[in-house]
Amino acid sequence: MRGFPDHDVDRLLDEIRGDAAFQERLTNWKVIPAREAVTAPFPQNIDPRLIGAMKSRGIERLFSHQSEALERAARGENIVVVTPTASGKTLCYNLPVLNELLARPESRALYLFPTKALSADQLDELHGIVTSTGGDVKTFTFDGDTPADARRAIRSAGHIVVTNPDMLHSGILPHHTRWVKLFENLKFVVLDELHHYRGVFGSHLANVIRRLKRICRFYGSNPRFICCSATIANPGELASRLLEDAVTVVDKNGAPSGEKHFLLYNPPVVNRELGIRRSVIKESRDVADRFLEKGCPTIVFARSRLTVEVLTTYLKEKMSRRHKNPELIQGYRGGYLPTERRAIEGALRDGSVLGVVSTNALELGIDIGSLEVSVMCGYPGTVASAWQQAGRAGRRQGRSVAVMIASSSPLDQYMVAHPDYFFGRPPEGAVLNPDNLVILMSHVKCAAFELPFEDGENFGACQEDLDELLHFLEEHRVLRHVGNRWHWMADVYPAGDVSLRSATTDNVVIHDVVNDRVIGEIDWPTAPLIVHDEAIYLHQSRQYQIERFDYENKRANARPVEVDYYTDAESKTDIKVLDIFEERPAPGGQRAHGEVAVTTLPVLYKKIRFHTHENVGWGYIHLPEQEMQTTSFWFSYGENDHQTLGVTAEEMGLGLKALANILSQVAPLFVMGEPHDLRAVAMVQSPFTRRPTVYVYDNHPGGVGFSERIFEDCARLFRSAGELVGGCPCPDGCPSCVGPALEIGPRGKELAVRLLALGGMEDRGVLSGQGLSAASRPSASAEA
Amino acid sequence: MTLSDRLRRIGALHGIAPAAPIPEPAPREELSGFLPCSNMYGTFLMSERLYPLEHAHGRHALQEALACEAGALGVLARDRSMGAFDVSRALFLDTETTGLSGGTGTVAFLVGVAGFEPGGFRVRQLFMRDFDEEPALLFHLSLLLEERTGIVTYNGKSFDVPLLATRFIANRLPAPELDLPHLDLLHTARRLWRHELSELTLASLERSVLAVMRTGDVPGMMIPALYFRFLTERRSDLLEPVFSHNLLDVLSLVSVLAAGARACRGEGERVGERYGVARTLDAMSAREEAVQAYRRALALCREPALERTVRKSLARALARLGNHDESAVEWRTLADRWDDLDALEALAKRAEHRTRDLAEASACVERALARLNSPIYRAVRTHDRRRAALLSRRERLHAKLARAGA
Which range among A384-388, B153-157, B339-343 shows the weakest confidence by mean pLDDT? A384-388
- Out of A475, A482, A630, the one facing B132 most closely (by C-beta) is A482
Q: Angle at Cα A737 formed by Cα A735 and Cα A740, nearest 5°?
A: 40
From the list A12, A736, A16, A779, the residue with the least C-alpha distance to A416 is: A736
Residues 231-260 of chain B with CB under 8 A from chain A are 231-232
Chain A CA closest to residue B16: A476
Within B82-240, strands assigned E span 90-97, 108-117, 120-127, 150-153, 182-184
State how far the Cα of A728 lies from the Cα of A262, in Å rounded to an integer: 23
Mean pLDDT of A80-107: 91
One domain for residues B277 and B258: no
- Give the single-character DSSP code of B206: I
CA pair distance B209, B207, nearest whole angstrom: 6
Domain of B160, in residue numbers: 28-264
**Is the domain of B276 the same as that of B259?**
no
Q: Taking CB atoms and an 8 Å limit, are B99 and A474 in contact across chains?
A: no
Range in A447-451, A724-728, B8-12, B282-286 the model is least confident about: B8-12
Our CA angle for B211, B217, B219, nearest 5°, is 110
Q: Is residue B23 part of a domain?
A: no
- Subunit contact B20:A492, Cβ cutoff 8 A: no
B238 shares its domain with B307: no
Asked whether the beta carbons of B288 and B318 are under 8 A apart, the reply is: no
A696 vs chain B: nearest CA distance in angstroms? 18
* Each residue's pLDDT tens digit, B161-217: 999 999 999 999 998 999 999 999 999 999 999 888 888 999 889 988 898 988 878
B354 is a domain residue: yes
In this complex, do A488 and B105 lie within 8 Å of one another by their Cβ atoms? yes
Edge-to-edge strand ranges of the sheet holding B108-117: B35-39, B42-51, B120-127, B108-117, B90-97, B150-153, B182-184
Give the containing element (helix H, strand E) for A16. helix A9-17
List the beta strands (DSSP E) in A476-564: 479-482, 485-488, 507-512, 517-523, 536-539, 542-550, 555-561
Note whether A9-33+257-423 and A39-250 share their fold. Answer: yes
How many C-beta neighbours within 10 Å does residue B141 have? 24
Q: What's the CATH number for A9-33+257-423?
A: 3.40.50.300
Residues A281, A283, A288: CA angle, nearest 5 degrees: 95
CA-nearest residue of chain B to A464?
B3
CB contact set of A90 (below 8 Å; sequence gap of 6+): A122, A125, A126, A192, A228, A365
Put simply, the chain A residues between 681 and 720 with a CB less than 8 A from any chain B CB are 701-702
Q: What is the DSSP letter of A35?
A: B
B18 within some domain: no
**Cα nearest neighbour of B11 on chain A:** A438
First to last CA, chain A: 55
Domain final position from B216, B231, B264: B264
Left if phi > 0, otherwise alpha if psi is -120 to 50, otherwise beta: which for A517? beta
B41 and B141: one domain? Answer: yes
Q: What percent of chain A lies above the pLDDT cut of 90? A: 41
Instruction: State how far the alpha carbon of A704 is from the alpha carbons of A436, A698, B173, in Å.
Output: 6, 7, 40
3-state secondary structure of B240: helix
Same-domain check for residues B161 and B247: yes
pLDDT digits (tens, 9 = 90+) for A256-302: 888 899 999 999 988 766 667 888 889 999 999 999 998 889 999 99
Q: Distance from first CA to last CA of chain B, Å, rounded?
A: 104
CATH of the domain at B170: 3.30.420.10
Using a CB-CB cut-off of 8 Å, the residues of chain A touching B100 are: 491
A486, A491, A508: best to mutate for the B interface, most B CBs within 10 A? A491
Q: Does residue B23 belong to the interface with chain A, where contact is any CB pair within 8 Å? A: no
Domain boundary, last residue among B204, B232, B264: B264
- CA-based nearest residue to B295, from B313, B283, B322: B313
- Could you report the per-residue pLDDT of A649-661, keeping only the tens digit for each? 888 999 999 999 9
Considering only CB atoms, B101 lies closest to which of A452, A489, A493, namely A493
Q: Within A186-233, where are the H helices? A: 199-218
A482 close to B (CB below 8 A): yes
* Structural domain contains residue B17: no
Q: Which of residues 46-105 of A touch B (CB under 8 A)?
A: none
Non-local (6+) Cβ contacts of A472 within 8 A are: B3, B4, B7, B19
| Cβ–Cβ contact A480 with B under 8 A | yes
- Answer with the one of B264, B299, B332 that is the final residue of a domain: B264
Q: Is B27 on the interface with A (CB under 8 A)?
A: no
List CB contacts (< 8 A) between B104 and chain A: 174-177, 449-451
Examine the domain organization and report whether B56 and B108 are in the same domain: yes
On whether residue B366 sits in a domain, the answer given is yes
In a domain, B134, yes or no: yes
Q: Using one digit for the tens of pLDDT, what is the confidence trace for A4-14?
A: 445 678 888 88
The secondary structure element, H or E, covering residue A615 is strand A615-620
Residue A784 above 50 pLDDT?
no
pLDDT per residue as tens digits for the range A179-203 = 999 999 999 999 998 988 988 999 9
> Can you tell me the distance from the alpha carbon of B271 to that of B180, in angstroms, rounded to the nearest whole number?
33
Restricting to A residues 589-608, those with a Cβ less than 8 Å away from any Cβ of B are: 597
Closest chain A residue to B101 measured between Cα atoms? Answer: A493
Same domain, B159 and B290: no
Which one is the CATH code of A39-250: 3.40.50.450, 3.30.930.10, 3.40.50.300, 3.30.470.10?
A: 3.40.50.300
Q: How far apart are CA B40 and CA B137, in angstroms?
A: 11
B81, B230: one domain:
yes
* Residues B331, B314: Cα–Cα separation, whole Å: 9
| Residues 37-56 of chain B whose Cβ lies under 8 A from any Cβ of chain A | none
Instruction: Select from A379, A318, A391 the least CA-distant residue to A354.
Output: A318
**Domain locations in chain A?**
9-33+257-423, 39-250, 437-490, 507-563, 569-783
Beta carbons of B131 and A452 less than 8 Å apart: yes
Residue at B160 is within a domain: yes
CA A352, CA A328: separation in Å to the nearest integer? 7
Q: Which residues on B lie below 8 Å from A485 (Cβ)? A: 131-132
Domains contained in chain B, number:
2
Asked whether residue B10 is domain-assigned, the answer is no
Quick check: A488 pLDDT over 50?
yes
Q: Pairing state of beta strands B90-97 and B60-61?
A: unpaired
In whole angstroms, what is the distance from residue A561 CA to residue A513 CA? 12
pLDDT-derived band at A370 (thresholds 50, 70, 90) equals confident
Instruction: Give the separation between CA A671 and CA A707, rounded to whole angstroms.
Output: 9
Choose among B71, B52, B72, B70: nearest CA to B62.
B52
Same domain, B118 and B191: yes
Q: Dihedral through CA B182, CA B185, CA B187, CA B188, nearest 10?
A: 110
Instruction: Write the pLDDT tens digit of every residue in A542-593.
Output: 678 999 998 888 889 999 888 888 788 888 888 999 889 999 988 888 999 9
- Any A CB within 8 A of B13 CB: yes
Of A174, A177, A438, the CB nearest to B169: A177
Which residue does chain B place closest to A444, by CA atoms? B12
CATH number, domain containing residue B349: 1.25.40.10
Tell whether B166 and B314 lie within a shared domain.
no
Residues on chain B touching A481 (C-beta within 8 angstroms): 22
**Do B231 and B212 share a domain, yes or no?**
yes
Residues 6+ apart with CB under 8 A from A284: A300, A302, A311, A375, A376, A377, A378, A405
The answer, yes or no, to whether ipTM is higher than 0.95 is no
Which of A448, A482, A701 is nearest residue B10 as measured by Cβ atoms? A701
Question: What is the distance between the alpha carbons of residues A53 and A91, in angstroms, rounded to a whole number?
Answer: 12
Nearest to B35 by CA among B129, B161, B143, B160: B129
Q: Same domain for B240 and B382?
A: no
User: Is B3's CB within 8 Å of A489's CB?
Assistant: no
pLDDT for A4 equals 47
Percentage of chain A modeled with pLDDT above 70: 92
Count of A–B CB contacts within 8 Å? 127
